[in-house]
Structure 1
Amino acid sequence: MKENETISPPTSLGRILLAVGPGLIVAGSIVGSGELIATTKTGAEAGFSLLWLIVIGCVIKVFAQIEFGRYALISGKTTLVALDEVPGPRIKGRGNWLVWYWLIMWLASISQLGGIVGGVGQALSISAPLTQQGVAYNQAADAEQLARFDAFRQAHHRGETESDVSTSNTWGTYDATYRSADPGQHLQPHDTAIWAIIISLLTSVILVVGRYSLIQSFSTALVASFTLLVVVNVYWLQSEAEFAFSAKEFLSGLMFSFPEKTAEISPIRTALATFGIIGVGAAELITYPYWCLEKGYGKFTGANDGSPQWKQRAAGWMRVMHFDAWGAMLIYTFATVAFYLLGASVLHRIGLNPEKGDMVRTLAVMFQPVFSEWAATVFLFGALAVLYSTFFVANASHARTFSDALRVIGVIAHDEQTRDRWIRILSGVFPILCVVIFIAFPAPAQLVLISGIAQGVMLPMLAAAALFFRYKRSVEGLEPGKTWDVFLWLSAVAMLVTGVWTVVAVLS
């Protein structure tokens, strides 16, 4: 780093807030897949009983996140370069065990983005169908969802706890016109795939020409707009007798309890997959330092020359990073709880589970009690905002991490010019790869949960890395205090338990 690139850190609250940003980008990728899809699906399956796990998942991993960011700031090293320093099995000149498992997790993560772009395609195919079949499918599917919703309300008014409704007649005309080769399944139109292809191509262009400031501003605006809508929805939901939740129900969700597994669903397995991706999941733990470096925190701190001035700058920029990470945590935790409450209050009570081709349409039902005939329009705007924000930010992140991985495993040269060139190339390629995955496996919710499982397995590995950075890579005079260490160890234990629990749940 050049000496003239160093900048003294801001000290006033106002200037510190102007210097944050990496956490907002991470929040942009979190709110889409984790909150909108995985969290609401967990609420739909488990009701209120797993709210405690969702809250812990948002808060506890921030300590490890900051350790990763701290080492990036004081060393100027990217995450995968830093992970390659962690002791353990390695291939000489080709990376260690952590880097190679990250490559496995990356495969699952890119599949997750296939699910995300599929969700964007679903939202657009509902709001703007491209074919006559798409129009007919929307009419039949909307009629089915409305029938289920009305049946639940009627049952509630009669004092019944369960509703039973036949929806076969809503599909009669459609199934007769568009016959499916698979009995019992409705033939899916191609509108979703077409929209997904269009969105992927557009994203490739934007990312190839885009820069950090564009990514930060765009993702922040998208997430903020829909988060506001969700909060309004949860608030007004309390005025709907059938869907309002009591303080007792809310508090019961914060107790350590578990829902029962049924033949159709496994709420615990879904929740564990959700735990891996809500808040800062394994993918975000790895990408966060990249955005810190791109924001300039490491460059502004400068190379460690051992001087008191350097330590002062490092401490100041670490303080900014703390504001950034914890501020983002408050935002996405608030949003996560709101999404979970919607899933538990509306979808769980009606008996709907967001899956496969009707994932987005099912999620839109959460807005039906408050926004009634405007529900689909309001939700589709929000779904497009957060799902596309995730797709946009995560592809940008993957381009940076994967190009770095190519350096670590010795595929490309280590100079920054080569890495920057590969970031541009991969920024154009990855969105296309995502849509290919979705077309090959058109089940968005399942793709997201597969990634959650892979990330859950990696959490204990990253916990070990965070402890390694804390105790083996700290700079004297910049070590955190004992209280921080206690919470860092608690974070590591929680991540270890989650990883082991995830493996057991998957194998059982």
Structure 2
Amino acid sequence: MIVAGAIVGSGELVATTKTGAEAGFWLLWLILIGCVIKVFAQVEFGRVTVTEGKTALEALDSVPGPRRRVNWIVWYWLIMTVVGLAQLGGIVGGVGQALALAAPLTDEGRVFNEVQGRRIDAQVESAIMSRREDVPADEASRLTLVRDAAADEARAMDEPPDPFLWAALLAIPTAVLLVLGRYKLVQIVSLVLVAAFTAVTVLTVFLLQMQEDWAISGGDIADGMSVRLPPERGGLNPMHTALAAFGIIGVGAAELIMYPYWCLEKGYARDTGRDDGSDAWVERARGWLRVMRWDALLSMFVYTVGTIAFYLLGAAVLGRCGLNPEKGDLVRTLSEMYAPVFGEWAPALFLVGAFAVLYSTYFVASASYARVCADAVRVFGVGGRTEADREWWRKFFCAFFPLASCVIFVFVRSPGALILTAGVSQVLMLPMLAFAALWFRYKRSHPKLRPGRTWDVLLWLSSAGLFLAGTWAALTKIGLIG
């Protein structure tokens, strides 16, 4: 649970629910695979760190292939990290929207919230009535007129400055806290709130079964587990969103690289020590590798349950209502998932949960990026040769990532699009990380610490799946697949 603060984050809350809203239940199978498949590569990355004390970038730089100063995988990591600023921008934008809904700072913000609320309420009511057979024709027509009028009113409004003001008010103290190294309290509070909100989300899925209009049937689950592709809905191809989500749900590509740094910091590698050729070292390494595997597998179980719950809510509520969370009403639309169960309490409940999930991701991801980038300065050979230099670079990046991502959100005012853009860059890296994981397994594993045949089979299946997902995403982006 080392990166627990970021395990249930923007990929689950935004990308997964958006996939459910666009695809309905059709892609449940893909989301499930996306959660489970990466853990095997995660363990191989951790294995190198625990047994050799190497950072992720050091290990990746040893993978064979073209190189210019560093190798090809590290160069693509740099591209992915630059694009990763978009994800942080989308996250801080989502937090800004949540705070703007809870505490608007301007009159324009208050009016905007009211108009968006009327639009979404009208669309939900219209969707419910359209599924009932006993609704009089004149009532159905009235609801359609109300819905269309509310939508026209919402479209005519400019987005208020409140989310951007809140994002800035959040980014600055976050940068200060990260530079000062004040992590512990934020990590503990975030972990508790994220765990509570995830539990509430899972509970909501079960309570939804008591609502006649929203219950998820066995047929819905069967449809979701049938390996097939969804049709386009409203001119959107849900696979574009789904593939982007695939890259960042559970342990995303960026987190696969960040994970070894937390292994180093939390002591797995430090307590194992350097390989001195003794049986005692082998036993220590074997013990810490066992702890690491259980850490990864337990985390996988937690985020898989949470991710599936978010997907089912997105499909059952947003998908049936034709609501697609995006742009200025992303957070307000997402909160509607909880309305069938919690009624008028849903927005407040969701805002607290969304703040916890998104801010914890923002905080932990910024800290993680800072650590990896400080190491990258050394790996690229441009600085960071001493511990003091690395600490200076770490503090620099601790300030840079929160502030730069906030600026990105100000200029690109669509949190969902920013998060999905980063998701695409991460899913494209998955084949490279799969290749690296296989290289680590067969070329860098200690002879006395190699896994068994069952693990090898699962690792190969995982790598094949990651390669397929990345290739599919690449072909989709260049237009060879629709």
Pairwise TM-score range, normalised by the shorter structure: over 0.9
2:120 aligns with 145
DSSP 3-state at the match of 1:157: coil
The 1-side partners of 2:109 and 2:263 are apart by 43
1:124 aligns with 2:92: no
The 2-side partners of 1:152 and 1:368 are apart by 14
Q: Which runs of 5+ in 2 are unaligned?
A: none
Change (3 A) 1:490 1:399: same
Match of 1:407 among 358, 372, 378: 378
1:166 is displaced (CA, Å) by: 4.1
Alignment deviations for residues 163-191 of structure 1 (CA, whole Å, 9 cap, x no partner): 8454354478x78xxxxxxxx54211000
> Identity rate of aligned residues, in percent?
52
Change (3 A) 1:239 1:136: same
Q: Which runs of 5+ in 1 are unaligned?
A: 1-20, 176-183
1:107 partner amino acid? V
2:398 partner amino acid? S
Match of 1:504 among 459, 475, 479: 475
Q: Is the 8 A contact 1:49 1:258 kept in 2?
A: yes
Q: Is the 8 A contact 1:229 1:382 kept in 2?
A: no
1:441 is displaced (CA, Å) by: 0.4
Match of 1:390 among 361, 370, 375: 361
The 1-side partners of 2:54 and 2:386 are apart by 13
The 2-side partners of 1:159 and 1:410 are apart by 71
1:468 partner amino acid? W
Higher deviation after alignment, 309-318 or 145-154: 145-154
Q: Residues 231-380 of structure 1: matches in 2 within 5 Å?
A: 231-262=202-233, 264-380=235-351
1:167 partner amino acid? R
1:481 aligns with 2:452: yes
Q: Is the 8 A contact 2:187 2:360 kept in 1?
A: no
1:109 aligns with 2:80: no
The 2-side partners of 1:43 and 1:308 are apart by 51
Alignment deviations for residues 414-437 of structure 1 (CA, whole Å, 9 cap, x no partner): 233321221122112210001000
The 2-side partners of 1:144 and 1:297 are apart by 51
2:161 aligns with 190
1:88 partner amino acid? G
1:113 partner amino acid? L
Alignment deviations for residues 206-248 of structure 1 (CA, whole Å, 9 cap, x no partner): 2122356446424422320210110121111111111110122
DSSP 3-state at the match of 1:354: coil
RMSD across aligned positions (CA): 1.7
1:167 aligns with 147
1:46 aligns with 23
DSSP 3-state at the match of 1:108: helix
2:227 partner amino acid? F
1:95 partner amino acid? V
The 1-side partners of 2:185 and 2:49 are apart by 23
1:206 aligns with 177
Match of 1:96 among 71, 87, 112: 71
The 2-side partners of 1:170 and 1:479 are apart by 62
2:441 partner amino acid? R
Alignment deviations for residues 379-419 of structure 1 (CA, whole Å, 9 cap, x no partner): 11111110111111110110011111111111213233321
1:506 partner amino acid? K
Q: Is the 8 A contact 1:222 1:389 kept in 2?
A: no
1:418 aligns with 2:384: no
The 1-side partners of 2:182 and 2:272 are apart by 21
The 2-side partners of 1:212 and 1:189 are apart by 32
Change (3 A) 1:364 1:467: same
Q: Is the 8 A contact 1:69 1:288 kept in 2?
A: yes
The 1-side partners of 2:387 and 2:324 are apart by 46
* Number of matched pairs: 473
1:222 aligns with 193
DSSP 3-state at the match of 2:449: coil
1:264 is displaced (CA, Å) by: 2.2
Match of 1:456 among 418, 422, 427: 427
Task: Using structure 2 for the length normalisation, give the TM-score.
Answer: 0.95
Match of 1:71 among 19, 30, 48: 48
1:262 is displaced (CA, Å) by: 4.2
DSSP 3-state at the match of 2:9: helix
1:432 aligns with 2:409: no
1:252 is displaced (CA, Å) by: 2.1
1:459 partner amino acid? L
Change (3 A) 1:215 1:375: closer
1:284 partner amino acid? E
The 2-side partners of 1:463 and 1:211 are apart by 35
1:56 aligns with 2:33: yes
2:21 partner amino acid? A
1:320 is displaced (CA, Å) by: 0.6
1:18 aligns with none
The 2-side partners of 1:335 and 1:137 are apart by 31
1:95 is displaced (CA, Å) by: 1.3
1:8 aligns with none
Change (3 A) 1:189 1:79: same
1:39 partner amino acid? T
Change (3 A) 1:219 1:291: farther
1:375 is displaced (CA, Å) by: 1.0
Higher deviation after alignment, 340-349 or 213-222: 213-222
DSSP 3-state at the match of 1:412: coil
Q: Is the 8 A contact 1:273 1:450 kept in 2?
A: yes
The 1-side partners of 2:437 and 2:215 are apart by 41
Change (3 A) 1:200 1:292: same
1:81 aligns with 58
